[in-house]
A and B are shown apart, each in its own frame.
Chain A
Amino acid sequence: MIRLAAFNWTHVVACLLVGVTAVLLSFGALVTTYEAAMAVPDWPATYGHNMFLFPLAEWLNGPWDLFLEHGHRLLGALTGLITLGLAGVVWRSSTHAAVRWLVVAAVALVLVQGGLGGARVLLDDKTVAKVHACTGPLFFAVAVAIAVLSRGRAPTASHEVATRVPVALLVAAYLQLVAGAQLRHLDASVEPATFHSLVGLHIVGAIAVTVLTVASAAVTASTEGSPSARLWSRGMLVLVGGQLFLGAGAWVANWGVPADIIPASWQLSEPLRARSVWAAAVVTGHVVLGMLILGGAVVLAIESGGFGRRAAAAAAGRRAFA
């Protein structure tokens, strides 16, 4: 007979949380791409219905905007429930303090995030939307950290430089999402000068993330760190490389080929189509990949010993329990 208690529930639920959060954030990114945030004017109800009782047919057959926004809300609620479930599991197990604290943070973040989502709708305020877009990835990062730390395998401690670079990458990857969120939530009152600084910041951020990713790969390869850190840092190279392409694609999808830098014979001969599926896919994909890079950076930072003895102890503690 399988003994349920022997099963690493914390890890399983945390992985589920990571997966559902990834879908939730992708929906959120689509909501922004299609400016569907105000597709449902009320909150927490949906067009007067209890959110969970909103007719399925109306949701699936209604306007695309409504599909996205209501779907985002349902996924948000699901994420909240899974987070509470995770808290329950952790509460009953003897998981290490680091994981416990992260779960507390996750619960706090998911509640705040739900509230921000509601405030964004009720106040119809883009500033709230920007904050909402920055908290989402933060929550995702915490979920990934819980999943990794609850896994029951201690990362090998490595050389100091080999831990610092990945942590710096993690920070840069998050800041890059913050800057990106500001660019995505343009409203009528944004001053051109502010916008230009943000674009500059986002480009500098892209350079920083790229350099730090390459540096991570280099230091993890050259020191006797854990093999999985080495593997992750190489995977990050692929993700970040793809992200640079998507970033350029997002620029083109929004503003065309920059005429001042690119020769005229490279200009598109057809106008771009607003709301075309590929444009939406490129722009949204840029956000989603940004989130995945953040998640990867969390794993890499932990794998390379970035959270030091606490993380090692957390993982080891989990193993003792299992």
Chain B
Amino acid sequence: MTNTPSFVHRSCYATLAFAIVVGAAAGCGKTQPASFRLNMVQATKTSAPEADLERPWEKWSQDRQSQVATILLAMFGTPDEPLALAESGLDEAKLRLAAGPVRSDIVGRKNGLYREHCVHCHGISGDGMGPTAAFLNPYPRDYRPGKFKFKSTWRDAKPTSADLVRVLHEGIAGTSMPSFALLAPTQVDALAEYVRYLSIRGEAELALFTYAEQELGGDEQLPTTREFLVDEILTPIVGKWAAAEESQIPIAAVPAGVDFGLPASDFANRESVARGRVLFLGDGGCVKCHGVTALGDGQANDYDDWNKTIVEVSKEVAGSLDASRQAPTGELSPEKLAEHRARAEWLHAFVEVLEGDALRPRTIPPRNLRQGVYRGGRRPLDLYRRLYTGINGAPMPGVGPSGPGGKGSVADAEIWHIVNYIRSLPYEFDGELGADRPMIAKDRF
């Protein structure tokens, strides 16, 4: 009993000490101003040591990285002070609303929307690697390759402004991406513009590294002229974004016998659903992934493009590293030996980057279509678009033509029947499976 107070004291001191340690671990001193992170996977991938390298590889690659960082800073500014060149087509006023730390301005309007609502998932650079990302499946979108899934345009085209706003407004069902319907429309607008900004910036970064790899010799510097940066790097990217409005896919008229006002199980839709089923099992080629049962139990070991990049690069690096370890170095000439060393150094750096600057790759399972949860929206029009172009960046192919004037595996108007069939799937009695009840009792009616 007598030593209880000292136990209490010890506990209190321990508490205090712990609190201090946690405080320190969480980042001591004043928080650093936010800065964009380089795309290290791309930076490393494009900096394989060249044969005529005169400096140590590490110095040389760091030098290249800082060149790219400097150019990006000049073209796009910082997360606190975004910059929109006139040629970028971006609206700097909107960007300012979305960028920077969270605070209200003098008229009480909230700034820093991206950091308030998005940064913990999508990351300060829009690389989809915010602090929470590793907990999420699917991972948050990495905007930097400029690829988006849920849109009204051709598969390879950019989303329109309305598409981005719609994703923000609706959220993505079945994922952690929330709906921002409760924000003011001007705020959602500013956020969509900021997504575009991060995306264009990310694509410019990719282009710069790729250019450096393909066009520059060992010790050459990236050009910093306006002609190069604007005409050669920025304009092609911005052009694709500007073309989005005209790149929307055509929407075929809904054929007779399809009534989306009624449930798919209604008698009026009977023939259309049956037709859709035939297409689903046949020409559509859907069973390869979604399975005959549409439970999503077909091919399930594929990756989406973002993860595939990492998977492929990792494989290559691991292979090269093995080869480099096994290569006999005994009889190499001094130059060859230096080259070999530089290469090994590069590969080791690459392994570190892949461990530290990339998320662990995850497969993307084909959707279980009997759950009735559609990420790109559940209106028939949304499903039509998903089927027409497929899902950009994901293995899901489209059944419509791949571009204007092309021919798809299913005629445009027929796609509506598949849509109707998909609508029916959560409620379908599947006798073939021996089930005498709906596969998923998740009826909303």
Contact B131 A272 (CB under 8 A): no
- Nearest opposing residue in chain A for B378, CB measure: A269
- Nearest opposing residue in chain A for B7, CB measure: A164
Contact B178 A269 (CB under 8 A): no
Cα-based distance from A125 to B29 in the complex (angstroms): 9
Q: Which residues from chain A contact B131 at a C-beta distance below 8 Å?
A: 186, 190-192, 194-196
- Nearest opposing residue in chain B for A170, CB measure: B11
Judge if A41 is at the interface, Cβ distance under 8 Å.
yes
User: Could you tell me the distance in whole angstroms from the C-beta of A261 to the nearest C-beta in chain B?
Assistant: 10
Q: Which residues of B from 365 to 390 have beta carbons under 8 Å from A? A: 368, 371-373
Judge if B326 is at the interface, Cβ distance under 8 Å.
no
Judge if B30 is at the interface, Cβ distance under 8 Å.
yes
Judge if A167 is at the interface, Cβ distance under 8 Å.
yes
Cα-based distance from A264 to B137 in the complex (angstroms): 11
Binds B, one of A83-91, A231-239, A301-309: A301-309
User: Could you tell me the distance in whole angstroms from the C-beta of A63 to the nearest C-beta in chain B?
Assistant: 5
Contact B116 A35 (CB under 8 A): yes
- Nearest opposing residue in chain A for B173, CB measure: A271
User: Could you tell me the distance in whole angstroms from the C-beta of A79 to the nearest C-beta in chain B?
Assistant: 21
Q: Which residues from chain A contact B25 at a C-beta distance below 8 Å?
A: 194, 197
Q: What is the total number of residues of chain B having a CB less than 8 Å from a CB of chain A?
A: 70
**A125 touching B30 in the complex, CB below 8 Å, given contacts A178-B22, A195-B132, A273-B181:** yes
Contact B4 A126 (CB under 8 A): no
Judge if A221 is at the interface, Cβ distance under 8 Å.
no
Cβ contacts B170-204/A at 8 Å (1 or 0 each) = 11111111111111000000000000000000000
Q: Which residues from chain B contact A188 at a C-beta distance below 8 Å?
A: 34, 79, 115, 119, 124
Cα-based distance from A289 to B166 in the complex (angstroms): 36
Binds A, one of B98-106, B262-270, B281-289: B98-106
Contact A274 B180 (CB under 8 A): yes
Q: Which residues from chain B contact A255 at a C-beta distance below 8 Å?
A: 121, 132, 135-136, 176
Cross-chain contact of A167 among B8, B106, B121 (Cβ < 8 A):
B8
Cα-based distance from A37 to B440 in the complex (angstroms): 45
Q: Which residues from chain A contact B124 at a C-beta distance below 8 Å?
A: 188-189
- Nearest opposing residue in chain A for B117, CB measure: A274
Q: Which residues from chain A contact B175 at a C-beta distance below 8 Å?
A: 256, 271
User: Could you tell me the distance in whole angstroms from the C-beta of A177 to the nearest C-beta in chain B?
Assistant: 10
Cβ contacts B114-156/A at 8 Å (1 or 0 each) = 0111011100100001111111111000000000000000000
Cα-based distance from A40 to B121 in the complex (angstroms): 27
User: Could you tell me the distance in whole angstroms from the C-beta of B75 to the nearest C-beta in chain A?
Assistant: 20
Q: What is the total number of residues of chain A having a CB less than 8 Å from a CB of chain B?
A: 69
Q: Which residues from chain B contact A50 at a C-beta distance below 8 Å?
A: none
User: Could you tell me the distance in whole angstroms from the C-beta of B143 to the nearest C-beta in chain A?
Assistant: 15
Contact B178 A271 (CB under 8 A): yes
Cα-based distance from A174 to B12 in the complex (angstroms): 10
Q: Which residues from chain B contact A157 at a C-beta distance below 8 Å?
A: 1
Cα-based distance from A66 to B107 in the complex (angstroms): 11
Cross-chain contact of B26 among A38, A127, A168 (Cβ < 8 A):
A127
Q: Which residues of A from 226 to 266 have beta carbons under 8 Å from B? A: 254-256, 258-260, 264-265
Cβ contacts A268-279/B at 8 Å (1 or 0 each) = 111111111000
**A265 touching B134 in the complex, CB below 8 Å, given contacts A39-B104, A130-B26, A273-B179:** no
- Nearest opposing residue in chain A for B121, CB measure: A255
Contact A190 B27 (CB under 8 A): yes
Contact A164 B4 (CB under 8 A): yes
Q: Which residues from chain B contact A309 at a C-beta distance below 8 Å?
A: 5
**A178 touching B18 in the complex, CB below 8 Å, given contacts A63-B108, A196-B134, A274-B183:** yes
Beyond the given pairs A186-B120, A271-B171, A271-B177, 10 more chain A to chain B contacts, judged by CB atoms under 8 angstroms and listed by A's residue number, are A127-B28, A171-B11, A171-B14, A175-B18, A175-B19, A199-B135, A264-B371, A274-B117, A274-B182, A275-B182
Residues of A within 8 A of B (CB): 35, 37-41, 62-63, 65-66, 123-127, 130-131, 134, 157, 160, 163-164, 167-168, 170-171, 174-175, 178-179, 182, 186-192, 194-199, 201, 254-256, 258-260, 264-265, 267-276, 305-310
Residues of B within 8 A of A (CB): 1, 4-5, 7-8, 11-12, 14-15, 18-19, 22-23, 25-32, 34, 79, 101-106, 108, 110, 112, 115-117, 119-121, 124, 129-138, 170-183, 368, 371-373, 440, 442, 444
Closest 5 CB pairs of A and B: A271-B171, A38-B103, A256-B176, A195-B131, A259-B137
User: Could you list 8 A-B pairs, sorted by A, with CB under 8 Å?
Assistant: A63-B104, A66-B108, A130-B26, A189-B124, A197-B25, A264-B371, A273-B171, A306-B4
